[in-house]
Amino acid sequence: MNYGHTLAFGTFITPRSDAPERVVALAQRSEALGYSLVSFQDHPYQPALLDAWTLLAWVAGKTERIQIAPNVLSMPLRQPAVLARAAASLDRLSGGRLALGLGAGAFWDGIKAMGGWRLAPGEAVGALGEEIDIVRGMLDTGERGPLQLDGDYYAVAGAERGPAPAHDIPIWVGAYKPRMLRLLAQKADGWLPSLGYIQPHEIAAANATIDHAAREAGRDPREIRRLLNISGQFTAQRGGFLKGTSQQWVEDLLPLVVEHGISTLILMADDVEVMEQFMAEVAPPLREAALAAAPQGAAGPVRRAAALAKRRQGIDYDRIPAALREAAVEPGDIAFARVRSTYMRRGAPGLVLRPSTPDQVAQALAFARTQQGVPLGIRSGGHGISGRSTNDGGIIISLDQMNSIEVIDRAARRVRLGPAARWMDVAAALEPYGWAISSGDYGGVGVGGLATAGGIGWMARKHGLTIDHVRAVDVVLADGSQVRASQRENPDLFWAMRGAGANFGIATAFELEADAVGRVGWAQLVMDASDTAGLLQRWGAAVEAAPRDLTSAIILGPPRRGQPPIAQVMAMVDSDDPDTIIRQLQPLADIAPMYDQSVVLTSYASVMANADPADHDGQGEPLGRAGLLGQITPAFAADAARLLQSGVVYFFHIRALGGAVADVPAEATAYAHRQANFSVNAFGTSRLRLDALWDGMARHFQGLYLNFETDLRPERVAEAFPPATLARLRDLKRRYDPENVFRDNFNIAPQQEGA
């Protein structure tokens, strides 16, 4: 019998309270010897034993890779909702290394003495079923709303779910009798009996009971891993089952693996020499013999039936490339809640593929192209305002595992970045070298989305856009080919990737040249915005007149009832001289009465360290409009003031450009609006009302920056790229992506043949 699981080995260590250091040392030795699991029994009523949960937490902190599990928890003394929260916490703290072995309870005198209930056998099974439901429900953060359960043994009245565990924590159940076997077949991920309580010849019948009950419950029996606690003695002469030489152990265990599908053997031993001999002389030949007897090997994990039921139509999940299958996330997976959404958008994709190499990116793209009619999105950091890096029912190729940061040429200040590296991490990595790359104003943004579009950062006027520092890009094209784009290799693609990259391929690595940047001045000023139009004009004039060392932004919102309107002005001065910093900031400080101010001498990395590391959990759909300005004229300022007073906009933001940005010729990159001095964007709550007001301001703008735009009307693309630039892009699109595979993010349609 082959249930498709890889053969693994673990240890079962007695958690003696009189020798806690030895218990932990045995766990560490288990890891060093190559065991994949260490487990401990749970008898809370027994003072001779350490508390299993406390011990698990301690061992997790003293080890690095080994899986940890109770073997098994006495659930009548473990409140399941609290246990679920504790399990999620320990799983996150341990890096996804926890498994839960659960038992219905035994030794009822001890349980009752500790304040637990004395349950009849049938009652204990029923209670365990509810306990498993509660644990799963608490861990399922993908479900909206609190957990409700009104059972015969437990009532959960609106418990908040979470936190999300680091991985899908498997639940294994210790069971022997038919009713318990049927329960685990319906609800658990593994069967965990012990030799001594079950005999080898009884395993086949128990497996049959589990398999039949699983099928009746609509499950594939392969979902259920078969584990077994074993013990014996190494002796020179055979003395019975698991009493003999290492080779005789192999002979005794092989039928359990091959004929009965046992895929995890857990050695019950507190003797280091026994642990060592087993891993040196039993595990390797047993694994080899099992593979020879079942040459097809392990088919890999099988998703639960409940997860399979959440698959979306149109995606052939069975044909996901083997190299991508393990990391792929489906709607029914517990990890789905962490990957479904982006920073600003709530999503419900049908599949998230997570390649870790360019070859895997090509495989992911090839698979996605075979899924006719299924939307495709590409995600680097998942922060995009304009992008569609999540969707409904489609495929997402998430590059989150490709987040490397590497200095490749110190003399040239050349760095190589993965597309999912976050700019705050890039800034932190470059700071020890005295370098920085101007890269947006939020540290949680991924490299890929910014470095293919523009990159308007806190040193744009001094050092230009992020794309102006890109020296090469590795790209997977629509046909799956992998190319390098630079001034010398595929220069036309290199031109397109710097400003319109989302339309041409999947960037798998960037090489950029950093700037030498020391400490900087960082100012945050809160000002009276009662004269909104006048404030905007004065701020714009001060920025344009400032030395290039200074780059600034201004944020305004609608006036609040009973309070004066305020503006927040932020500015960075690329200088470590306090007098220079104050001198360059003073004109900004003079534009309006000030309510608060903060000016510090700090590092660029500290300014960029402003992102929450939590998983994205965007809600709804952002409504934003964007435009580029030459100057903040009186007419524009008046229209902006009316926009803020309308109640339609809740966030209004202007970022400074000009300076080094304008030094680059317009034709040098696909981002061509080089003469604009300001980037303007606004967020509102009503698409119709926002569009009506914004479209009325169109006369002020000279193009737009797509990364801040959410309006998908086709004229937005024409506004983002001047006619000659757009014509060249459409011609290149015909060459590099003639079937328009990359079309979800402000599509540039390929030029038609002969047009």
- Span 87-102, pLDDT tens digits: 999 999 999 999 999 9
**Span 301-341, pLDDT tens digits:** 688 888 899 999 999 999 999 999 999 999 999 899 899 99
pLDDT at site 294: 76
**pLDDT by residue (tens digit) across 577-594?**
999 999 999 999 999 999
- In angstroms, the CA 525 to CA 598 distance is 6
Nearest to 616 by CA among 317, 396, 286: 396
Query: What is the rounded CA–CA span in Å between residue 104 and residue 127?
Result: 8
Token digits for 342? 């982006």
Model pLDDT for residues 395-441, shown as the tens digit of each residue: 999 999 999 999 999 999 999 999 999 999 999 999 999 999 999 99
Q: What pLDDT score was predicted for residue 72?
A: 96
Output DSSP code: residue 280: I
Q: Are 219 and 183 in contact (CB under 8 A)?
A: no
Q: How many CB atoms lie within 10 A of CB 635?
A: 12
Three-class DSSP category at 230:
strand
Those residues with Cβ within 8 angstroms of residue 598's Cβ, 6 or more apart along the chain or in another chain: 523, 524, 525
Which stretches of the chain score pLDDT less than 70?
Answer: 295-301, 387, 753-755
The distance from CA 728 to its chain's CA centroid, rounded to whole angstroms, is 36
Question: What domains can be seen in the chain, in order of their start residue?
Answer: 8-175+189-203+226-293 (3.20.20.30), 520-722 (3.40.462.20)
Per-position DSSP letters for 430-487, written without gaps between them = HGGGTEE----S-TTSBHHHHHTT----TTHHHH--GGGGEEEEEEE-TTS-EEEEES
| Residue among 736, 735, 727, 725 at smallest CA distance from 755 | 727
User: What does the alpha-carbon distance between residue 120 and residue 193 come to, in Å, rounded to a whole number?
Assistant: 20
CB-based burial, 461-470: b 16+ in 10 Å, e otherwise: bbbbbbbbbb
Q: Reduced to 3 states, what is the DSSP secondary structure of residue 692?
A: helix
